[in-house]
């Protein structure tokens, strides 16, 4: 792959044989069924990418490392924005309602979590109480006031919405940036640290 996989990308091509020897049976079955893995934020050795394997149950999550050369297909969250689904669930109704606003917001957005997983793979992952997990690619500053307007809109939705702001140096939860806290938690591949300006975090970490 020419492009480096980013957090929340879905990757196909990992085989059960590439799992750790002590991997649970559900993880073996997930990969054997052809499910993708999701890129996670963690350091990995040269030639590998840190990924997570999903099971049927919420608690079935396994951290693993996938050889880059095994990647057969990659789907990003933003590639899923307009993928349709026939399932009549609150989370899909909310997504349908939000699409026009997100399309017009001025930033690139995408779908992650269980909704993104099912839209990309066809494997059932959503249920009646599913959250809607979104990402917003914000290479430049989104003001706290703009963030608050998103939160106010999301709080009126029929399901919980969690949005991560994806910045050049990592990610911050929208709700935390909107909260007005002097410092916010910036997560990247190396660590999670408190910063005052997540777009310019150098020498601000605590």
Active-site residue 131, yes or no?
Answer: yes
Neighbours of 21 (CB within 10 A): 4
Q: Name the β-bridge partners of 132.
A: 161
Answer for the pair 106, 113: CB distance below 8 angstroms, yes or no: no
CA–CA separation, 118 vs 131, rounded Å? Answer: 13
Phi-psi bin for 38: left (phi > 0), alpha (psi -120 to 50), beta? beta
Which residue out of 9, 104, 131, 162 is catalytically annotated?
131
Active-site residue 88, yes or no?
Answer: no
CA–CA separation, 139 vs 168, rounded Å? Answer: 6
| DSSP per-residue codes, 13-28 | ---GGGS-TT--HHHH
CA–CA separation, 105 vs 92, rounded Å? Answer: 20
Which residue out of 133, 155, 162, 197 is catalytically annotated?
133
What's the distance, CA 157 to chain centroid? 20
Would you please indicate which residues are annotated as catalytic (active-site) residues?
131, 133
């Amino acid at each position: 792959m020419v492009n480096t996989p980013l957090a929340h990308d879905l990757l196909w091509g990992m085989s059960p044989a590439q799992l750790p020897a002590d991997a649970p049976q559900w993880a073996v079955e997930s990969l054997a069924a052809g499910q993708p893995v999701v890129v996670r934020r963690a350091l990995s050795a040269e030639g590998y990418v840190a990924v997570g394997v999903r099971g049927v149950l919420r608690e079935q999550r396994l951290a693993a490392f996938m050889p880059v050369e095994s990647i057969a297909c990659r789907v990003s969250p933003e590639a899923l924005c307009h993928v349709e689904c026939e399932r009549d669930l609150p989370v899909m109704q909310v997504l349908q309602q939000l699409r026009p606003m997100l399309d017009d917001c001025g930033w690139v957005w995408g779908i992650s979590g269980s909704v993104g997983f099912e839209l990309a793979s066809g494997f059932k992952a959503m249920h009646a109480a599913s959250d809607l997990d979104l990402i917003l690619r914000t290479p430049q500053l989104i003001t706290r006031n703009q963030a608050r307007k998103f939160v106010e809109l999301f709080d009126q939705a029929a399901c919980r919405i969690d949005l991560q702001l994806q910045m050049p140096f990592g990610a911050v939860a929208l709700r935390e940036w909107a909260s007005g806290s002097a410092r916010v938690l910036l997560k990247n591949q190396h660590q999670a640290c408190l910063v005052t300006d997540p777009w310019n975090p150098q020498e601000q970490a605590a």
